[in-house]
């Protein structure tokens, strides 16, 4: 279907329409609101499927459709959308997950008063994310990026009557804004140097060879290539959105939102937007002989992967653990992009999207079943009470940890580690990645152990026994579990379909590649790491899980300072409070003082002067002008009263006067002529 | 039979005019005032006829034409005047002119 590209704009527009319509609905129209959101997303999904299959059959690597937004004197601002394998696979993933999660929300949000508003915001998010994916212009991408940020803010603060939720929404918005400013600067800089923000435009786009050559040749301060500087600014935007160190602080707090939101936005799609941005801008970031920006991407990713995984070990909130795990996995994706290119990072993005949304929805199901309890220390024994949730959660957990061969996370993480091992600059990212994998398996074991095994929840102090969630929630879980397992087979070393799909080649099945010596060693290594972590985790935590009431965390007992440090998230929030926020407060106080004293003084002086002038004016008016005017009026009144004597209304007197006048006139005539 | 001179006519007309004027000025009843005005008009008509008869060209009927018009106008004027008087009488139950000074300044 060659004309499909012309209709691709419908993919984000349908959810946008649903959001607009949903915003106008009354609160009681719950069915219609949900129907609109789900219907629009289903249509978008069908269109995305069509787009995806067209990229499979027609091997044109990239199609785009550009149009002029507006003209300014000599510049033309163009927007456009595009279809390439990267877009197609993201479209498939986003629409499919959004659809599944919308359906799940029917159950999870069933008793919420603001059900209608929820679906309106979710559709708005879908529109923004899909627009971001198909954008062929950094400007359009940025617009959708902000739209996504806005809907994220609205949804984190969905239960705004909770102060924590309102604060988390603000924190998320402001923290990502820091990255966005850098992105905006990078965008403006790119525009000033390349003259266009279109990615691909028949050789004139900013990601095409001619423009890249110019950017690489241009130098800026300290001998840094222009392309590197712009890439770093754009990457800063991705750092904010994807929760990389040091702007990761908002993501765990974002878990104050409803769980489907956490699953869709803060695990599977929106936070992946940063990774997608880096993948989209990859030609620019990797341009030149020494792509320094790419090394920054790698290091930030690697550090984040381990950093967040370490924090996750000491958290007790079921959603926060997965949130830190998300940060850590996003770090892996960035590292994958840095060391191995688009295909490696994006593959992990896709597999992660499935198993992480599965984990979040599973966690939501657990919370739903435990009547709002989120503390894993107070759960237990859910394996018997919630068998469906347990089975699917276990699949997601094993995919996240990278259990060998049958779970998707294994293959995608393996690809990243393989690329990191061959990275020419340093081997540290590889070791950081392996350490992160170990920590991931360890904390996930801890979580599953405490939530699903051990004595049931009542023994841990819960109010009512847990129950399994309704089918509208478990069926999406089952669907996601299937994908969490199967998605991995799209990119095994034996059949690297994903890699060749993105690069426009045909994948070949070579079973032997699996047994090539370096590959085999890597597979064995990750298997070993996961196995040891599982065994260790089980040994440490299973004993506590069966206790009632539970003792303190074994890690806390053996290594109190370390646990304390991890539980408090390395005190990053406190560090920011002590530095950035205090600086900001001081600055605000200073501005406040300026405002109150200096500017207000100036304003007061001006107003005083005006008032004085007005007083003088008034005195002049009252004594001078008014007096003269009053005098004139009095004269008129007097004259009038004299003249009114003549106008007495007696016609006969008029007649007499007339007669007298004629007589006098006659006499004058007679004497005059004589 | 001798024709009286022009001056007699003029004197008669002046007398008529003065009587009419005196009535119009002095009487209180609106209808009598109207009658006074009619007298004054007729004095003027008499003047027209007299000057025509003793004028340069008594063959042309100029004076009679004037007077005919004048009488027609006087009739119309009286019709209007009487209508006004009746209207005022209906409203105020009087025709005394000194009672009607609501247009005074």
Local mean pLDDT, 10-residue blocks, chain A (674 residues): 78 93 89 92 93 79 84 84 90 92 88 90 94 93 94 92 92 92 93 87 85 83 83 93 89 89 86 92 86 90 92 89 93 92 90 91 87 81 85 91 85 90 89 92 90 70 70 88 87 80 77 78 89 89 75 77 82 86 92 92 95 94 87 92 82 87 93 83
Q: N- to C-terminal Cα distance for chain A?
A: 121
Can the peptide bond before residue A653 be classed as cis, meaning omega within 30 degrees of 0?
no
Buried residues in A24-63 as b, exposed as e (16+ CB within 10 A): ebeeeebebbbebbbebbbbbbebbeebbebbeeeeeebb
DSSP A491: S
Closest-CA residue in chain B for A642? B105
Cα–Cα distance list, A422 to A417, A426, A522, B99 (Å): 9, 9, 12, 125
- Whole-angstrom Cα distance, residue A454 to residue A672? 141
Whole-angstrom distance, CA of residue A38 vs CA of residue A118: 12
Residues B22, B27, B33, B36, CA torsion sign: negative
Residue A648 and residue B100: Cβ atoms within 8 Å?
Answer: no
Neighbour count for residue A622 (Cβ, 10 Å): 10
How many Å apart are CA A452 and CA A397, to the nearest integer?
12
* Cα separation values, A293 from A48, A118, A281, A285, A303, Å: 32, 39, 11, 6, 15
Contact at 8 Å (CB) between A302 and A244? no
Return the residue of A nearest to B26 by Cα: A652
Count of CB atoms within 10 A of residue A126's CB?
Answer: 33
A655 to chain B: closest CA residue: B25
Residues of B in contact with A645 (CB under 8 A): 105
- B105–A655 CB contact, under 8 Å: no
Cis ω on the peptide bond leading into residue A65 (within 30° of 0)?
no
Measured at the CA of A63, the angle between CA A62 and CA A68, to 5 degrees, comes to 130
CA dist., res. A294 & res. A225, Å (int)? 13
| A-B contacts (CB, under 8 Å) | 35
CA distance A88 to A276: 12
pLDDT value of residue A549: 66
Could you give the CA distance from residue A256 to residue A254 in angstroms, rounded to a whole number?
5
Sign of CA dihedral A459, A460, A461, A464: negative
Q: Which helix (H) or strand (E) holds A299?
A: helix A292-312
Nearest in space to A126 (alpha carbons), one of A274, A275, A326, A269: A269
Residues A647, B97: C-beta atoms closer than 8 Å = no
- The three-state DSSP-derived secondary structure of B82-100 is HHHHHHHHHHHCCCEHHHC
Cα distance between the two ends of chain B = 58
Contact B101 A655 (CB under 8 A): no
pLDDT of B14 over the 90 cut: yes
B1: pLDDT confidence band, cut at 50, 70 and 90? low
Bridge partners (DSSP) listed for residue A492: A495
CA dihedral A83, A84, A86, A90 (to 10 degrees): 30
Cβ distance A644 to B103 less than 8 Å, yes or no, reads no
φ, ψ of residue A76 in degrees (nearest 5): -120, 125
Q: How many degrees, rounded to 5, is the angle at CA A662 between CA A661 and CA A665?
A: 85
Answer yes or no: are the C-beta atoms of A22 and A114 closer than 8 Å.
Answer: no
Rounded to whole angstroms, how far apart are CA atoms A315 and A355?
20
A404, A484 contact by CB (below 8 A)? no
Sign of CA dihedral A116, A118, A121, A126: negative
Q: Which among A646, A647, A659 is the nearest to B25, CB-wise? A: A659
Distance from CA of A603 to the nearest CA of B (A): 57
Question: What CA–CA distance (Å, rounded) separates A502 from A127?
Answer: 24
> What is the pLDDT, as a whole number, of residue A562?
82
For residue A468, the 8-state DSSP code is P
Q: Which two tokens stand for residue A604?
A: 């007061």
Name chain A contacts of B33, Cβ cutoff 8 Å.
Answer: 652
Nearest chain A residue (CA) to B21? A659
Rounded to 5°, the CA angle A613-A617-A621 comes to 170
Would the CB atoms of A650 and B105 count as touching at under 8 Å?
A: no
Q: Which residues contact A207 (CB under 8 A, 6 or more apart)?
A: A199, A200, A281, A283, A284
Q: Do the beta carbons of residue A316 and residue A378 sit within 8 Å?
A: no
pLDDT the model gives residue A532: 92
- Tell me the shortest Cα–Cα distance from A658 to chain B, in angstroms: 10
Question: How wide is the angle at C-alpha A523 spanned by C-alphas A518 and A525, nearest 5°?
Answer: 90
CB–CB of A372/A381 below 8 Å? no
pLDDT of residue A402: 87
Q: What are phi and psi of A510, to 5 degrees?
A: -125, 100
Q: Count Cα atoms within 13 angstroms, Cβ side, for A247.
A: 23
A81: enclosing H helix or E strand: strand A75-83
Q: Which of A456, A446, A607 minimizes the C-alpha distance to A538?
A: A446
Query: Distance of alpha carbon B34 from its chain centroid, rounded?
Result: 8
CB A476 within 8 A of CB A368: no
Helix, coil or strand: residue A80: strand
Half-sphere exposure of A66 (CA within 13 A, CB side): 20
Inspect the interface and report whether the beta carbons of B24 and A655 lie closer than 8 Å.
Answer: yes
Q: Give, in order, the Cα–Cα distances in Å from A666 to each of A652, A659, B50.
A: 21, 10, 21
State yes or no: ipTM above 0.90: no
Q: Which residues contact A182 (CB under 8 A, 6 or more apart)?
A: A233, A234, A236, A237, A240
> Reduced to 3 states, what is the DSSP secondary structure of residue A595?
helix
- Run of H or E residues at A653: helix A651-673
Contact state of A652 with B101 under an 8 Å Cβ cutoff: no
Interface of A with B (CB under 8 A): 640, 643-652, 655-656, 659
Residues of B in contact with A651 (CB under 8 A): 97, 100
Q: Report which of A270, A280, A283, A261 is spatially closest to residue A242, judged by C-alpha positions.
A: A270
Q: Which of residues 36-95 of B touch A (CB under 8 A)?
A: none
A661, containing H or E segment: helix A651-673
| A650, A654, A662, best to mutate vs chain B, most B CBs in 10 Å | A650
The rounded distance, in Å, linking the Cα atoms of A394 and A568 is 28
Q: What is the DSSP letter of A647?
A: -
Residue A593 to residue A631: CA distance in whole angstroms: 54
pLDDT score, position A628? 86
- The answer for residues whose C-beta is within 8 angstroms of residue A429's C-beta and 6 or more apart is A298, A299, A301, A302, A335, A338, A339, A420, A423
Task: Please give the Cα distance from A122 to A583 (Å, whole number).
Answer: 36
Q: Kindly tell me the burial class for residue A136, based on how many C-beta atoms sit within 10 Å of its own C-beta (0-12, 13-18, 19 or more).
A: buried
DSSP labels for A1-19? -GGGGGGTTHHHHHHHHHH
Look over chain B and give the mean of its residue pLDDT values, rounded to a whole number.
89
> Residue A1's pLDDT is what?
47
């Amino acid at each position: 279907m060659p004309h499909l590209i012309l209709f691709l704009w419908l993919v984000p527009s349908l959810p946008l329409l649903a959001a607009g319509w949903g915003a106008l609905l009354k609160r009681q129209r719950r069915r219609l609101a949900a129907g609109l959101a789900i219907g629009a997303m289903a249509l978008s999904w069908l269109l995305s499927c069509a787009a995806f299959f067209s990229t499979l059959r027609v091997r044109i690597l990239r199609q785009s459709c550009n149009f002029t937004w507006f003209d300014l004197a000599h510049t033309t601002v163009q927007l456009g959308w595009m279809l390439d394998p990267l877009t197609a696979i993201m479209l498939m993933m986003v629409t499919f997950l959004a659809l599944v999660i919308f359906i799940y929300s029917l159950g999870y949000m069933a008793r919420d008063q603001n059900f209608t508003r929820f679906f309106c915001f979710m559709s708005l998010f879908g529109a923004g994310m899909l627009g971001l994916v198909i954008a062929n212009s950094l400007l359009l991408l940025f617009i959708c990026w902000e739209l996504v940020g806005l809907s994220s803010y609205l949804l984190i603060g969905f239960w705004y009557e909770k102060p924590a939720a309102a604060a988390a929404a603000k924190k998320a918005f402001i923290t990502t804004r820091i990255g966005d400013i850098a992105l905006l600067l990078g965008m403006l800089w790119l525009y000033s140097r390349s003259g266009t923000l279109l990615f691909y435009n028949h050789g004139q786009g900013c990601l095409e060879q001619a423009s890249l050559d110019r950017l690489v040749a241009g130098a800026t301060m300290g001998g840094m290539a222009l392309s590197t500087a712009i890439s770093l600014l754009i990457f800063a935007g991705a750092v904010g959105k994807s929760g990389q160190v040091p702007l990761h602080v908002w993501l765990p707090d974002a878990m104050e939102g409803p769980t489907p939101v956490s699953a869709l936005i803060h695990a599977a799609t929106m936070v992946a937007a940063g990774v997608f941005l880096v993948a989209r801008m990859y030609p620019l970031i990797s341009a030149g002989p020494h792509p320094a920006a790419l090394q920054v991407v790698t290091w930030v990713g690697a550090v984040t992967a381990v950093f967040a995984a370490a924090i996750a070990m000491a958290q007790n909130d079921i959603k926060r653990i997965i949130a830190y795990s998300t940060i850590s996995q996003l770090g892996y994706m960035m590292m994958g992009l840095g060391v191995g290119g688009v295909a490696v990072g994006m593959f992990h993005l896709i597999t992660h999207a499935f198993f992480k949304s599965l984990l979040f929805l599973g966690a939501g199901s657990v919370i739903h079943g435990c009547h709002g309890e989120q503390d894993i220390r107070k759960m237990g024994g859910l394996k018997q009470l919630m068998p469906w949730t347990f089975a699917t959660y276990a699949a997601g957990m094993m995919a996240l940890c990278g259990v060998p061969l049958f779970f998707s996370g294994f293959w995608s993480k393996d690809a990243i580690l393989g690329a990191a091992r061959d990275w020419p600059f340093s081997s540290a990212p590889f070791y950081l990645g392996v350490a992160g994998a170990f920590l991931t398996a360890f904390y996930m074991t801890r979580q599953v152990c405490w939530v699903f095994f051990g004595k049931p929840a009542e023994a841990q102090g819960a109010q009512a026994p847990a129950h399994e969630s309704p089918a509208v929630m478990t069926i999406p879980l089952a669907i996601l579990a299937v994908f969490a397992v199967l998605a991995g087979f799209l990119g095994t070393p034996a059949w690297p379909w994903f890699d060749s799909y993105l690069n426009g080649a045909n994948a070949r099945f070579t079973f032997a590649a699996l047994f090539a010596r370096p590959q085999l060693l890597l597979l064995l290594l990750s298997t070993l790491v996961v196995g040891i972590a599982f065994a260790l985790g089980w040994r440490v935590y299973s004993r506590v899980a069966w206790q009632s009431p539970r003792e303190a965390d074994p890690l806390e007992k053996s290594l109190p300072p370390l646990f304390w440090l991890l539980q408090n998230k390395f005190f990053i929030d406190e560090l920011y409070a002590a530095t950035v926020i205090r600086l900001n407060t001081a600055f605000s106080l200073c501005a406040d003082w300026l405002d109150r004293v200096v500017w207000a003084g100036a304003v007061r002086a001006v107003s005083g002067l005006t008032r004085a002038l007005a007083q003088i004016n008034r005195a002049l008016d009252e004594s001078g002008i008014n007096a003269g005017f009053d005098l004139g009026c009095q004269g008129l009144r007097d004259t009038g009263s004299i003249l009114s004597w003549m106008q007495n209304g007696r016609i006969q007197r008029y007649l007499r006067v007339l007669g007298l006048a004629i007589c006098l006139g006659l006499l004058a005539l007679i004497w005059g002529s004589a | 039979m001798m024709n009286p001179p022009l001056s007699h006519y003029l004197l008669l007309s002046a007398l008529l005019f003065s009587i009419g004027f005196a009535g119009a000025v002095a009487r209180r009843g609106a209808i009598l005032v109207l009658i006074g005005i009619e007298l004054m008009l007729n004095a003027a008509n008499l003047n027209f006829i007299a000057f025509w008869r003793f004028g340069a060209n008594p063959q042309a009927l100029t004076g009679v034409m004037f007077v005919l018009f004048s009488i027609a106008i006087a009739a119309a004027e009286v019709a209007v005047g009487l209508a006004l008087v009746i209207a005022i009488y209906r409203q105020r139950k009087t025709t005394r002119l000194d009672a009607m000074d609501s247009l005074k300044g």
